[in-house]
Amino acid sequence: MDLFEHQAKEIFAEYGVPVPQGRIAYTPAEARAAAEAFAAAGQPRVVIKAQVKAGGRGKAGGVRLASGPDEAEAVASQILGMDIKGHTVHKVLVEEASDIAQEYYLSFLVDRSGRTFLSICSVQGGMEIEEVAHVSPEAVARVPIDPLAGVDLAKATEIVTAGSLPAEAIPGAAALAERLWAVFTGKDAILVEVNPMILTTDGQVRALDGKVTLDDNAAFRQDLAQYADPEAADPIEARAKEKHLNYVKLEGQVGIIGNGAGLVMSTLDVVAYAGEEFGGVRPANFLDIGGGASAEVMANGLEIVLSDPSVRSVLVNVFGGITSCDAVANGIVSAIGMLEGRGEQVRHPIVVRLDGNNAAEGRRILDAAEIPVVEQVGTMDDAARRAAELAAAATTGA
Amino acid sequence: MAIFLTSESRIIVQGITGSEGRKHGTRMLAAGSKVVGGTNPRKAGQTIELGGTALPVFGTVADAMEATGADVSVVFVPETGTKAAVIEAVDAKIPLVIVITEGVPVHDSAEFWAYASAQGNQTRIVGPNCPGIASPGKSNAGIIPADITSEGRIGLVSKSGTLTYQMMYELGDIGFSTAVGIGGDPIIGTTHIDCLQAFQDDPETDAIVMIGEIGGDAEERAAAYIERHITKPVVAYVAGFTAPEGKTMGHAGAIISGSAGTAQAKKEALEKVGVRVGRTPSGAARLVREVMQGR
């Protein structure tokens, strides 16, 4: 789960990572009030920062300086409602302006190849670290972190020294890094990034920006719900989540239901390949109903997939491994029964491919049920092709 | 001989009294695996009956090993206790621990891996969030269905459970020496590379199938390894060509970030070192068939 900058900075402040003073504003009037409060405290210059979970805010005009409350209000009214890379700006962070002497980069993240954690630090901050690494790789230090030893002040000093930070920034940057590690472990983060970490003209080191990604798997010991972002969530994804379904909305016409993340991902690919022959029909979603595939889960899955108005056909692709296919077939039959019982007539064609354990019995059950919208196809490739073909036919027909 | 397991592997189940532990303990026994007991610290000394076989429940992995000679542990302990369960198994120096549990926080996986490394990696860790290891006709440790395939000479390593099953089923007539599900989490114990080398060294494996998916660079690193160390034919499949950037596709590790982790990059890296990459799972199965028939 990605956090907004202001949420990241609230966590930073809680853990003792120095950040500029800031207030969140949802309206231009609130932005003005925030700027007035800073002005009253002798800090009239503020920065108005669009709060969206996307990079490149500055280039898009989403980060601007204001000299006082009037300008803050005007700037906020321009930034609020802006679209930045498909994200609508619903709130801005009004922050005291910092006097920047230098900009650095610092992060902690998961190092998949090393099966451990990594700190990245560079004296060149304020731009994309990938770009810095590309242009001047010698300026980017990658320091592995032993998860058991963690990061104390000595390790933190090693990190910022490896990043070639100047002597005057070392003590402040090391202290910041030690606290940032506390955020990383304390919040079960998989990424904490400060870009830029700045040295102010009066010698302070601060986090001028903050990016935090939390581990969804840690929900049992972290309060992740407080960071939920209902405004941004796709409404179908939100309803799927309520039903504990692993659903991702995509842009396409063929609804996909399968079991197992890898098989469903693969199904999306095979449908997209087949769709190339039918005018560019594409998968409408990712939905993994997991190993069990009970009738109720299947019914909920079908309901969610069919509630997507762009869906023209559905492909159910199940491999019976632990579950046998007769149970899955019964699940599909009762799922359609349950939907029709709720008054939701199923109109779109449903292509079903069952394979694996007890597949013959599963196919017999589906045949015997004689559901008009259900069509069985023997292999995954052929089923994908048929589902794409039906979606294309329905799209042109409509 | 297959890899990691033998017909003599003696398996315990950590979390044997839970619903998953009971269910899959029973299935492993039915598949002919030598399941010799399990652990639950609160039920030590009790006996649990799985499919007609009475098995002892021990308080710790060390106790279970001492009493039964177990050399493999399969972990079904819920995610809240997975880290402690793995560390316990490592402390007991069991040679192989297979972590089936899904939803383990990455900080916990990083810590138990670091712990195992600090002890000199005397315990091989497979997983977490994996289906386990199946050596048809010999032993089955985990949740891979035993009856979808047969014994043969293909080795398989995969990030994905159901794609593993699909491939084992499609090539059931040729059969497998061992299939290893390594899991799709960002931090895992045993990697593609570990399995590739083990298959290379296994006289009972003739060809290797590798199933990958988006996220990370494990496939790219495997490709580099294959170029230098693997002489047996390798066929690969990669899932997630159509996955959009920034959206997690089911597995915690299956996410494309920026230009990193795309299926296309993985496919190209593998093809560059002579690995044949199937466009679909069935396409990959056909390539394996060609390789095996060409022998």
Query: Which residue is closest to B111 within chain A, CA to CA?
Result: A147
In a domain, B277, yes or no: yes
How far apart, in Å, are the Cα atoms of A236 and each of A240, A245, B252? 6, 11, 21
In chain A, the largest separation of any two C-alpha atoms, in whole Å, equals 80
CATH code, domain with B155: 3.40.50.261
In a domain, B131, yes or no: no
Optimal mutation site among B80, B86, B162, interface A, most CBs of chain A within 10 A: B162
Last residue of a domain, one of B126, B157, B186: B126
In a domain, B3, yes or no: no
Residue with tokens 């989403």: A62
- Residue B241 to residue A269, Cβ atoms within 8 A: yes
Q: Are residues B202 and B288 in the same domain?
A: yes
Predicted confidence at residue B44, as pLDDT, reads 96
Residues of chain B predicted below pLDDT 70: 1, 295
**10 Å Cβ neighbour count for A219?**
16
Residues in B closer than 8 angstroms to A248, CB to CB, are 247-249
Distance CA B247, CA A337 (A): 33
Q: Report A:188-227 residues touching B (Cβ under 8 A).
A: 188, 190, 215-218, 220-221
Superfamily of domain A21-96: ATP-grasp fold, A domain (3.30.1490.20)
> In 3-state terms, chain B is what percent helix, strand and coil (to 5)?
35, 25, 40
For chain A, the distance separating the N- and C-terminal CA atoms, rounded to the nearest angstrom, is 38
Predicted confidence at residue A207, as pLDDT, reads 98
In a domain, B135, yes or no: no
- Split into its structural domains, chain B has a count of 2
- Residue A265 to residue B213, Cβ atoms within 8 A: yes
Describe the crossing of helices B218-229 and B263-272 by its angle, rounded to 10 degrees. Answer: 0
In a domain, B137, yes or no: no
ipTM score assigned to the predicted complex: 0.94
Range of the domain at B285: 149-293
Residues in B closer than 8 angstroms to A220, CB to CB, are 79-80
Determine contact: A344 vs chain B, CB below 8 A.
Answer: no
Residues of chain A predicted below pLDDT 50: 398
Determine contact: A360 vs chain B, CB below 8 A.
Answer: no
CATH code, domain with B59: 3.40.50.720
Domain A100-227 has CATH 3.30.470.20: yes
Determine contact: A117 vs chain B, CB below 8 A.
Answer: yes
Write the residue in B114, B241, B248 that is nearest to A148 by C-beta.
B114
Question: Which member of A5, A73, A95, A105 is catalytic?
Answer: A105
Q: Are residues B103 and B203 in the same domain?
A: no
Predicted confidence at residue A54, as pLDDT, reads 85
Please list, in sequence order, all residues whose beta carbon lies within 8 angstroms of the beta carbon of residue A203, skipping any fewer than 6 positions away: A168, A172
What number of C-beta contacts closer than 8 Å exist between A and B? 169
Q: Are residues B108 and B184 in the same domain?
A: no
Task: Express each pLDDT in A51-71 by its tens digit.
Answer: 999 888 888 999 999 999 999
Contact B133, B178 (CB under 8 A): yes
Predicted confidence at residue A398, as pLDDT, reads 47
Determine contact: A147 vs chain B, CB below 8 A.
Answer: yes
Q: Are residues B97 and B164 in the same domain?
A: no
Distance CA A368, CA A353 (A): 16
Does the annotation mark B192 as catalytic? no
In a domain, B54, yes or no: yes
Determine contact: B285 vs chain A, CB below 8 A.
Answer: no
Predicted confidence at residue A185, as pLDDT, reads 98
Query: Which residue is closest to A272 within chain B, CA to CA?
Result: B242
Write the residue in A146, A282, A319 that is nearest to B162 by C-beta.
A319
Query: Two tokens at B225?
Result: 């390894």
What CATH fold (topology level) applies to the domain A235-397? Rossmann fold (3.40.50)
Q: Are residues B74 and B33 in the same domain?
A: yes
- Residue A264 to residue B250, Cβ atoms within 8 A: yes
Q: Which of A319, A147, A220 is nearest to B165 (CA)?
A: A319
Question: Which member of A193, A247, A303, A389 is catalytic?
Answer: A193
Domain ranges of chain A: 21-96, 100-227, 235-397
Q: Are residues B158 and B271 in the same domain?
A: yes
